[in-house]
Structure 1
Amino acid sequence: MRGGPGRRRAERGTRPCGGKVPVLTDSLSTPMMKQYHRLKAVHPDALLFFRLGDFYEMFFEDAEVGARELDITLTSRTTGGGRRVPMCGVPHHSAEGYIARLVEKGYKVAVCEQVEDPRKAKGLVRREVVRVVTPGTVLDPTSLPEKGNNYIACVALDPKTGSLGLAWLDYSTGEFRAEDFSGEAGRARFAAEFSCLEPAEVVAQPAVGEDPEVSGIVAASLRTPLRTYREQAFRPAEAARTLLEHFGTASLEPYGLAGRPLATAAAGALIAYLRDCQVGSLGHIRTLRTDTGGRTMALDAATRRNLELVEPLRSGGPEAGATPGGASGPRRRRATLLGVLDHTVTAAGGRTLRSWVLHPLTELDPIRSRQEAVARLVERELVREELRTELRRVHDLERLVARAEAGSAGARDLLALAESLRAVPALRAGLEGPEGAGASAALLMELARRLDPVPELVALIERALDDDPPAGLKDGGLIRPG
């Protein structure tokens, strides 16, 4: 191995980015260096992990940054002209951990793979960047808070009116929302909503950096540097086209975006940015929600802190090393309202409850609907315990689907999907009630109707995959014999 785990951490307040694109002189003009230069030029703001055999290599300034931040050995290689080029590398089988550490410090990492078999290649092996990992597009489960979200947010600003648009998305689950804010009251709501998100990454319209109030709100809640994105993507017409193309629809009205150009601008620019990063793997982002009627209460940071909703008052701020989205130590978490209420047994349930605590309902009908559902489950202790037993079989389906869509799911992920789906019939029966359809609360019946066990998919996975497959797709032994 070329280096061990690093201990050095990036200083807060720095602006990490990829190394500069090297100047390609005659002494560096080997075929491989030309290939590297072409790929690095497309991703100048990212650290390029360049696949060479069993290693991902970094060169030039990227190598110097990577060696420093990962605490691995900086070496060099001699080019055709005799010039020595700085380089460092990490083994491909442990690369995800190194990528996660760089991303946690605010870097973008472009992962370049060999896209043809070296044994069949005629000359230089063809390579392409297959994904770009940023703090807001992490999919590695070990780098994500189990019951918290990992949001990437996008801010649009009309400098003439001061109105704002905000879109936020959890790439690991597919949750996608957008709002707009106008006037002084709107800015106060924007500040409350933004601080509540605790985004891992923020991209913004260039004008945001020129507004001291808005940039101050963003900076106060941001762990990594603000990324300014291209102006054209924020133009309402361009953003609307991006969203229509993504959702495959003729109108944005069903998404609550009609007549809301700034919310549209933020949402469309965010999808455009993700396309740039993830090479089109956005199929799990299937819908977008807006709070058109003010159905939830906006709680500012001081209110959330004083009420100890998700963070204890004596904590003094986010815990050192805590992940975005509200993950914190279990002892501190128990000293909050969420800690008292949270008896969820699934990751998605924990994320939903956290969102409910931070966004209290303001309308009576949905409040009564929830109360009725809870009362029905309280009355039926046996049914409730059976539901909890079945839910313990359910893995984090939202993140499983996201990894599958991104092409990073393994055979064990697919078996976890099948195991989760096998619990659906019992869950549906429990929600409907022992007396059958119509005997349960309306909200529980609606939840039951949404559940689809997809038996044909479960049967396909069971027929195709071995019961105990290896972790890696290239390790063999995935397919059931016969």
Structure 2
Amino acid sequence: MADTATPSKPASAPSPFMAQYLSIKARHADALLFFRMGDFYELFFEDAIEAAKVLDITLTSRGEYDGKPIPMAGVPYHAAEGYLARLIKAGCRVAVCEQTETPAEAKKRGSKAIVNRDIVRIVTPGTLTEDALLPARQDQALAAIALGTGGTEAAIAVCDVSTGRFDVTALAADALADSLMAYPLSELLVSDGDLDKTAVANTVALSSAPVTFRPARSANHKAGEDLLKETFNIAALEALGDFNRAELAAIGLLLDYVKLTQAGSEIRLDPPVRARSEGHLAIDPATRTSLEIDRSMRGDRNGSLLGTIDRTVTAPGARLLAARLARPSVDREEIEARLDAVSWFADDRDTVETVRSSLKAAPDLERARTRLRLGRGGPRDLVAIGRALVAAHEAASRLTALGTVLPSRISDATGALNLNKDASLAELSRDLETALSENPPTLARDGGFIAQGWDAALDEARGLRDDSRQIIAALQARYADETGISALKIKFNNVLGYFVDVPARHGDPLMKPPLSETFIHRQTLASNVRFSTQELSELAGKISRAEDEAKARELAIFDNFCERIDALNTPLSRTAAAIADLDVAAASAEWAFEADAVRPLLTDDTTFKATGLRHPVVEAALKKEGQGFTANNLDLSGEDESGTRLLLVTGPNMAGKSTYLRQAALAVILAQAGLFVPARSLTLGLADRIFSRVGASDDLARGRSTFMVEMVETA
């Protein structure tokens, strides 16, 4: 019997445009694709549906594919940062696809050629660099974890793409979670091959940050070794340190991912710093949450230890203070050096105020230099670096002018900030101050950020662009004077461009020597004769190219500054670190003034003896309500057989049990972070670990006990 069924219609081939989109999307199937089309980033298919839902934007359609309408949504490119921030917050990854040529350049390949496009960057929670997408006073940590042979050894590689910081730590596998949670995690990288390992599974379960799983081949010690050599352009690893296999595997996992997100651009991280896991006070995740070190029970800074004591005036300083509280030191020499700096400032409040007033004018040098090195910066980042260098030098000059002996940390910071000691940085600072306009645009391509008088070629191009009428009028007056023809005019049309126009009766003299050597006959009309000159032709070409030349010249100057900043990366990094160090010391003294805090006395034994100890967060909350805090003494020294090593504390709800216990732990954290402690005195033998299992839902800053919180939740 003959087949009478209607044959199915074959799917039509995608258009060249859609074929280009599908090809690029296939390379990044797990990310939303921001596909640049003119002034918009467009999203198609499932990406459009998801983005429309997250961003609450209109979902439309464009054309058909396989006989079905293609869902489409878009966002303006000039407002893309705001939309990116919302998508990242929602846990999305975004691949940014830009046009890599202009429509005019595409047409040279054929009238139907489409503009070439390619991925320039993959935006993930752990690889943000833009100010609009990042909290200025908080680090972002992209971390990778890996296990060594046998599964008992492990390593953590952590970087902050926005500042360039890169840390590597070797540790026992069962300490992974404790060490990792000390970082402000934005994204955690885990190898597929480690998912069945208990230590890794426990760490992943505890992480509140998005977890990205990567192929096992990325977490390989050989891959780590190769990527380190490639990234830092070295022939042997000895130049960076002696890394074990677990460390190299974690480094490989991290650098492979950073390289992927940079989409072909160079990785811009500072050389890795090896941190000892035993060099910091161990605080497990439950204890960290219970003590509300950097986040309150409500999940924000308000009501936390960090939010209560932070008096820093710079973004790098705020991030350094947060890092010190999150990972207090167990190195007595380091702690004493920090305390010496705070003590020196605490003895002179006038100096604290003058130094803080100078530092307050310093923008975020750390992130500005990194954005420029990554090719994501703009003129405002150049301005930020220039102003930071000036403000830092002013602070250093004020300290130097005191003529007193400075503690080692302050002395080192002052030396790093003094531009008189670094000719290259001083020259960069002067050039940035002179070259840049007061209020530059965000993007270099918008132009107008180089000040008048900095570059002669740029001034000439701008002069032609802005003063073309005056230039033509001046040339016309000169030609009229040289020829004696007062009726001579310079005019313009689309056929001849600029030309010299004279009445017909004056045409013959211009076509005879000596004037014919200058004036070239172009056209004779009934009442006029038209000429051109070599000078006028060159001027016309300059005028038509002036706008492009001005922008191109500005971009060249911008690129030159970026190259200089890249070459000065090490001293700029040192300057940023010195700004942060000085800010933290001065800010800590300022808080000590306000809180009546004292310097702890450190010992090498197991002493813990506090008099008049107070809980800094609870005391601050009570002060706002006009109430005082009842201080407590605590002695757990156990110096002899009758000494106290353990206390059993009982009492009714809201009697202060949790406060009493927590303030002891917070005193240890503050002291070993190198900060003063709210007490009349504290003598402390360094601790290596803190445990706290106080009622998990106590909300002390809001005056709620565990029992009250449980009752409210039950109700």
| Normalised TM-score (structure 2) | 0.57
Give the letter for the 2:358 counterpart: E
Q: Deviations over 1:161-216 (max 9, x none)?
A: 3432211111111121111222xxx41x2111222224121111112321244223
Give the letter for the 1:220 counterpart: L
- Aligned residues of 1:433 and 1:440 also touching (Cα < 8 A): no
**5 Å matches for 1:176-191?**
176-182=166-172, 186-187=173-174, 189-191=175-177
**5 Å matches for 1:357-396?**
357-396=325-364
Distance 1:81 1:136 in 2: 37
How much does 1:28 deviate?
A: 4.3
Structure 1 residue matching 2:185: 3-state secondary structure:
coil
Distance 1:416 1:35 in 2: 39
Percent identity, aligned pairs only?
35
How much does 1:134 deviate?
A: 0.4
Of structures 1 and 2, the larger Rg is shown by: 2
Q: 1:81 to 1:46 in 2, by over 3 A?
A: closer
Which protein is richer in helix relative to its size?
Answer: 2
Q: 1:432 to 1:466 in 2, by over 3 A?
A: closer
Q: What residue is the counterpart of 2:195 in the other structure?
A: 209
Distance 2:249 2:234 in 1: 17
Give the letter for the 2:443 counterpart: G
How much does 1:421 deviate?
A: 1.1
Counterpart check, 1:466 vs 2:437:
yes
- Aligned residues of 2:171 and 2:277 also touching (Cα < 8 A): no
**5 Å matches for 1:348-427?**
348-427=316-395
Give the letter for the 2:414 counterpart: A
Counterpart check, 1:89 vs 2:79:
no
- Aligned residues of 1:30 and 1:80 also touching (Cα < 8 A): no
Q: What residue is the counterpart of 2:258 in the other structure?
A: 274
Distance 2:144 2:277 in 1: 22
Q: What residue is the counterpart of 1:8 in the other structure?
A: none
Give the letter for the 2:285 counterpart: A
Q: What residue is the counterpart of 1:194 in the other structure?
A: 180
Q: What residue is the counterpart of 2:652 in the other structure?
A: none
Structure 2 residue matching 1:345: 3-state secondary structure:
coil
Distance 1:28 1:96 in 2: 35
How much does 1:479 deviate?
A: 3.0
How much does 1:286 deviate?
A: 1.4
Distance 2:304 2:85 in 1: 29
- Aligned residues of 2:48 and 2:72 also touching (Cα < 8 A): yes
Stretches of structure 2 lacking an aligned partner (at least 5 in a row): 1-9, 108-112, 420-424, 453-458, 460-715
From 239, 243, 251, the counterpart of 2:228: 243
- Aligned residues of 1:181 and 1:190 also touching (Cα < 8 A): yes
Of 129-138 and 142-151, more deviation after overlay is shown by: 142-151
Counterpart check, 1:74 vs 2:59:
yes
Q: What residue is the counterpart of 1:442 in the other structure?
A: 408
Structure 2 residue matching 1:45: 3-state secondary structure:
coil
- Aligned residues of 1:282 and 1:405 also touching (Cα < 8 A): no
How much does 1:394 deviate?
A: 0.8
Give the letter for the 1:245 counterpart: E
Q: What residue is the counterpart of 1:103 in the other structure?
A: 88
Say how many residue pairs are matched.
434
**5 Å matches for 1:336-351?**
336-351=304-319
Give the letter for the 1:274 counterpart: V
Give the letter for the 2:441 counterpart: P
Which protein is richer in strand relative to its size?
Answer: 2
Q: 1:130 to 1:259 in 2, by over 3 A?
A: closer
**5 Å matches for 1:276-355?**
276-281=260-265, 284-292=268-276, 294-312=278-296, 315=297, 319=299, 328-329=300-301, 332=302, 335-355=303-323
Distance 1:46 1:111 in 2: 9
How much does 1:255 deviate?
A: 4.2
Distance 1:465 1:418 in 2: 9
Distance 1:56 1:404 in 2: 23
Distance 1:246 1:366 in 2: 31
How much does 1:147 deviate?
A: 1.6
Counterpart check, 1:143 vs 2:133:
yes
How much does 1:283 deviate?
A: 5.2
How much does 1:304 deviate?
A: 2.5
Structure 1 residue matching 2:104: 3-state secondary structure:
coil
How much does 1:433 deviate?
A: 6.0
Distance 2:32 2:369 in 1: 27
Structure 1 residue matching 2:389: 3-state secondary structure:
helix
Distance 1:37 1:293 in 2: 46
Distance 1:382 1:452 in 2: 21
Distance 2:254 2:327 in 1: 23
Q: Deviations over 1:203-258 (max 9, x none)?
A: 1111232124422322322332x2221222221122111112212234434544x2
How much does 1:465 deviate?
A: 2.8
Q: CA RMSD in A?
A: 2.3
How much does 1:302 deviate?
A: 2.7
Of 80-89 and 98-107, more deviation after overlay is shown by: 80-89
Give the letter for the 2:347 counterpart: E
How much does 1:62 deviate?
A: 1.4
Q: 1:139 to 1:293 in 2, by over 3 A?
A: closer
Q: What residue is the counterpart of 2:246 in the other structure?
A: 262
| Normalised TM-score (structure 1) | 0.84
How much does 1:305 deviate?
A: 3.2
Structure 1 residue matching 2:341: 3-state secondary structure:
helix
Q: What residue is the counterpart of 1:117 in the other structure?
A: 102
How much does 1:83 deviate?
A: 4.9
Q: What residue is the counterpart of 2:499 in the other structure?
A: none
Give the letter for the 1:289 counterpart: V
Q: What residue is the counterpart of 2:204 in the other structure?
A: 218
Q: What residue is the counterpart of 1:4 in the other structure?
A: none
Distance 1:286 1:153 in 2: 15
How much does 1:284 deviate?
A: 4.0
Give the letter for the 1:376 counterpart: W
